[in-house]
Amino acid sequence: MHKKASKLAAGIMSLAMAASSTASAAEPMNAGVVSVIGESTFEKKSLPWRTCAAYPAKQAFDIEDGAFHITIYVPQGADNEKWDLQFKHKNLRLKAGHEYRVSFKAKSNRDGLELCSQIGDSRNGDIYFTLDGQTKDMHMGPHMGGRWAGAAANLSNEWQTFEGIFMPTEDLEGVEWAFDYAKGTNYQGNAQSYDELWFDDMVIECLTCEENNDSFCAWSYPQDFCYAVPRSDVRLNQVGYYPDSVKIATYETDSDRDAMDFRVLNEKEEEVYRGRTKPVGMDNEAGLGYFHKLDFSSVKKPGKYTIVVDDEENVYTNPYTDEVYKRYISHEFTVGNKIYGNILRDALNFFYLQHSDIDLDEKKIVSEPSEENRAKLAHDALHAKDEAYICSNWGVFDEKEILKDAAGGWYTDDNCS
């Protein structure tokens, strides 16, 4: 990934700011900034931002040059409205009377692609802060003493920056910042197949907390939350191998490399096998990397082993924790006759780890043998509340007689259900 030279502008502002039609030169974010959201620049990760699609609408995303890049394949979904395709950040907490600077950059591959955005509550349809393409800024929404947006924002192939100051008049818990861009019928949205969008420099910054040297509104999870990179470039059967089975591992490199030596070590770090990797070139279906095969089928004695490839320069430092990953060394694996003994337990434990509404207790993470890793996997519930009012008809948002708590689901690869 190429790294961008620009960063977020972080000057404290007291008045609503009109949107610039081009991306301005930005300065690094100040150390004292109180960010309400969990990711801003997409330099290293995208979560907790995510995409949502209402079938049959379809989209895909990747991180491109430090920006969140979306490609639309099917532009219209179940409701035939703009919200059938979304890009959003959930679980925001905002304090009444606090002042927030809200800002983002966006562009598209097609001039005139319509984009709508709001900070609101998807449980009842309330919109507290909205993007307005008519005034080219963001302002208070209809459910926070403001007004509806006059029009959607029209994107172009040049970056545009949209900004505004948000001052909620009531405490907001569990709200979301959402962007809508599907093909709509009544409420904007003109997406077409193969439209592309890019987002970057996402900001919700609490100016009040900064002024008071407070962290009440700060995103409460660690900086490296949702940051996942391989600790090793040696790919193995993670369960293990039977003694008499064929044993093949692969090793990924970022360029086409000649064959390399590799060693298999036992628990005492004694060499039990030495071999040469076999280059197989690029695999488009496996992340566009270059790969080598490692055959160590002659290792038959039951036990625990690691593989060390003669590539000691392949070292990576985690930018959040400064932890060093020696990617030329595999994780520990097992050779034995009972390698699948706990597979049912581990499969069921996966569903515990995917729970969306409960605190995860490290004592119940039985599928992970490492105490250190169990502690890392444990966390407080991310969606402890999932409440919504039941309305008689779609589009009717002012009925608040029946409140339904729908908490109790699991996370999937792109959503929670």
Tell me: pLDDT of 20 over 50.
Answer: no
User: What are the pLDDT digits (tens) for 246-275?
Assistant: 999 999 998 899 999 999 999 999 999 999
Q: Average pLDDT of 311-334?
A: 91
Q: Which residue has the higher pLDDT, 295 or 3?
A: 295
- pLDDT value at position 31? 52
Q: Residue 226 forms beta bridges with which residues?
A: none
Q: Are 284 and 321 a contacting pair, CB within 8 Å?
A: no
- pLDDT value at position 286? 67
Tell me: pLDDT of 212 over 80.
Answer: yes
Query: How many alpha carbons fall within 13 Å on the CB side of residue 162?
Result: 27
Tell me: pLDDT of 27 over 60.
Answer: no
Give the least confident one: 99-103, 153-157, 274-278, 281-285. 281-285
- Measuring CA to CA, how many Å separate 330 from each of 154, 230, 325, 380? 49, 11, 10, 31
- Measuring CA to CA, how many Å separate 118 from each of 6, 173, 179, 323? 25, 15, 7, 38
For the four alpha carbons of 28, 34, 37 and 39, in that order, the dihedral sign comes to positive
Quickly state the pLDDT bin for 181 (edges 50, 70, 90): very high
Nearest to 44 by CA among 288, 223, 192, 265: 223
Quickly state the pLDDT bin for 225 (edges 50, 70, 90): low
Quickly state the pLDDT bin for 11 (edges 50, 70, 90): very low
Task: Say how far apart CA 136 and CA 133 lie, in whole Å.
Answer: 5
Tell me: pLDDT of 277 over 80.
Answer: yes
Task: Say how far apart CA 394 and CA 42 lie, in whole Å.
Answer: 35
Q: Are 275 and 265 a contacting pair, CB within 8 Å?
A: no
Tell me: pLDDT of 414 over 60.
Answer: no
User: What are the pLDDT digits (tens) for 33-58?
Assistant: 899 999 999 988 888 999 999 999 99
Q: Average pLDDT of 190-207?
A: 97
- pLDDT value at position 377? 86
Give the least confident one: 146-155, 282-291, 392-401. 392-401
Tell me: pLDDT of 415 over 60.
Answer: no
Token pair belonging to 173: 């818990």
Percent of the chain's residues with pLDDT above 70:
87
Give DSSP secondary structure letters for 372-401.
HHHHHH----S-S--EEE--SSTT-----S
Ordered by where they begin, the domains of the chain are: 50-211 (2.60.120.260), 234-341 (2.60.40.10), 344-405 (no CATH)
* Average pLDDT of the chain, as a whole number: 86
Tell me: pLDDT of 97 over 70.
Answer: yes
Q: β-strand 248-253 against 271-276: which pairing, if any?
A: unpaired
Give the least confident one: 41-55, 280-294, 295-309. 280-294
- pLDDT value at position 6? 30
Tell me: pLDDT of 223 over 70.
Answer: no
Tell me: pLDDT of 342 over 80.
Answer: yes
Max distance between CA atoms of the chain, in angstroms, equals 73
Give 383-392's long-range contacts (Cβ < 8 A, gap of 24+). Answer: 383/90, 383/91, 383/174, 383/356, 383/357, 383/407, 383/409, 383/416, 384/357, 384/358, 385/173, 385/174, 385/357, 386/123, 386/356, 386/357, 387/123, 388/122, 388/123, 388/124, 389/123, 389/124
Tell me: pLDDT of 175 over 50.
Answer: yes
